[in-house]
Structure 1
Amino acid sequence: MRKRMRDTPNRDRPRERLAARGPQALTDTELITLLLGRGTAGRDVWQVAGDVERCLKRAERSPSYDDLLEIDGIGSAKACEIMACFELGRRYFGDDGVSGSRITRPEDVLPLVAEWRDKKQEYFVCITLSGAGEVIERRVVTIGILNQSLVHPREVFSEAITDRAASVILVHNHPSGTLDPSTQDLGITRQLVEAGSILGIRVLDHIIVTKNGYASLKELGHL
């Protein structure tokens, strides 16, 4: 069970974590606690935030005013603030089909790398993710035959650090059409997992794609 906010060490509180690492590093619940500010008599802010998060997950897009008011601890003012945040995000940032996409399984990655699946050269792509598992950005790290000198941790993680990413998913295509990971693929993956561990940025998966399919090294037991 999560500690009450007043019992949470300062360094682990959402406000301090956001100041130190940026909003991308926070979970949905932590972001909601920042909007709420505090809980109510008998209900810690973490409890109220958890109910709000469940409400957001049930909603197809932004939550309704009435749905938010049904949550114990949410009054008219807070319901309006939450809805205003959603509307500002919609107006200013919209949906580019990449940023904000939630990755929960390897198949979710495929639309993000569709343009590289049938290339005649190997493209190595790094997808950075927030603490909530949402896509921050996708970038081509290198083009050509993969080897450990080209796919260096410095090249992979420099932008991930700039993004304040919590994790990354690695993707590269096989022009040959085979989905079997090569010895080189496995070596690169091990090297990047170790580097990410030191930096505090998890490598969630390394996915090989072709025109007709994909292979997840995590599902294959290599991560």
Structure 2
Amino acid sequence: MPKAKPTYVGKLVSPRVKEKSDKELLALVLRSQFERVANRKVREIAQASKAELGLTDIAYERLMAGIELGKRVGEAKTNFNERLTSTHKAVAFCRSHFSRLIAEGLQEEFHIVTLDTKHRMIDSHRITVGTLDASLVHPREVFRPAIRDACSCVLLAHNHPSGDPTPSREDFKVTQQLTEVGKVIGITALDHIVLARENCLSLREQEP
């Protein structure tokens, strides 16, 4: 059976917390160190170094943990109930779900999104980090989490840190290899989405 849909963390947050200002939230996170950043904007704080903020190691680590947790919660809430029934929806989903990887990724990463029989997301898994190569993206590593999730199909995705989404010959080779293995074990590889700042595209639509 597919995993149950995760409970959105946002639903568990007290309304009193949601109503607090940026400064009030920072005060909760930084406690006694808050006065050092009290006059800075949130965007400025998120981009500044520990030295620039004048925070202690513990306070800075607490601040970065809060920022990272907020990002992860945002990702976890993205499109969980969307049915990926078309290439357009798959590309739009990946553009949203992998927005951080598209914007911040410095190395290629290969991910899979496991889907149930109605093409709704079960979970997302990072498989490898590094240049995409058929010898590195081993089917065993790709389909292990897919089998564990008892999924019906998977959506493949990887980023191009250069910003150019143009697929390489190796991209097509990996897609073909995983598609054939998926047929053998009964898990359909729906599509392979290339993620890049210039655009995101479907390899299915680009196949020669």
User: How would you bin the TM-score normalised by the shorter chain?
Assistant: 0.5 to 0.7
How far is 1:182 from its partner?
0.5
Output the CA distance in 2 between the equivalents of 1:103 and 1:182: 25
What is the DSSP-based 3-state SS (H/G/I as helix, E as strand, rest coil) of the residue aligned with 1:203? Answer: strand
Residue equivalent to 1:97: 77
8 Å contact 2:81–2:121 — kept in the other structure? yes
Give the counterpart of 1:209 among 174, 181, 195: 195
Q: Distance in 1 between matches of 2:124 and 2:100?
A: 12
The TM-score, its normalising length taken from structure 1, stands at 0.56
Measured after TM superposition, the shift of residue 211 of structure 1 is 1.6
What is the distance in 1 between the residues matched to 2:123 and 2:2? 14
After superposition, what is the alpha-carbon deviation per residue over 1:49-87, rounded to whole angstroms, capped at 9, x for unaligned? xxxxxxxxxxxxxxxxxxxxxxxxxxxxxxxxxxxxxxx
Distance 2:207 2:130 in 1: 26
Partners of 1:166 and 1:136 in 2: CA distance: 10
Letter of the structure 1 residue corresponding to residue 197 of structure 2: K
Percent identity over the alignment?
A: 36
Deviations 1:117-136 (A, max 9, x none): 13110011100000011000
- Correspondence 1:109 to 2:94: yes
- Aligned residue among 112, 129, 133 for 1:147: 133
2:111 to 125, 133, 147: 125
Is this contact kept in 2: 1:167–1:202, CA < 8 A? yes
Cα shift readout 1:162-200 (whole Å, capped 9, x = no counterpart)? 000100000001112221110111111100000000010
Whether the 8 Å contact between 1:131 and 1:166 is mirrored in structure 2 is yes
Task: Report the counterpart of residue 169 of structure 2 in structure 1.
Answer: 183
Shift of 1:111: 1.1
Q: Which amino acid aligns with 1:191?
A: Q
Are 1:219 and 2:205 matched, yes or no? yes
Whether contact under 8 Å (1:173, 1:209) holds in the other structure is yes
What are the superposed Cα offsets for residues 106-165 of structure 1, whole Å, 9 maximum, x if unpaired?
212221111111311001110000001100001110001111121010010000000001
Rounded to whole Å, the distance in 2 between the matches of 1:111 and 1:206 is: 15
Give the unaligned 5+ runs of structure 2.
10-75
Unaligned 5+ segments in structure 1 are: 1-21, 25-88
Check conservation: 2:165, 2:200, Cα contact below 8 A.
yes
Q: Is the 8 A contact 1:206 1:216 kept in 2?
A: yes
Equivalent position SS for 1:111: helix
Aligned residues: 136
Q: Which residue is 2:25 aligned to?
A: none
- Contact 1:100 1:136 (8 Å CA) reproduced: no
Matching of residues 13-92 of structure 1 within 5 Å: 22-23=1-2
Query: Taking CA–CA contacts closer than 8 Å with sequence separation of 6 or more, which of the two structures ends up with the larger relative contact order?
Result: 2
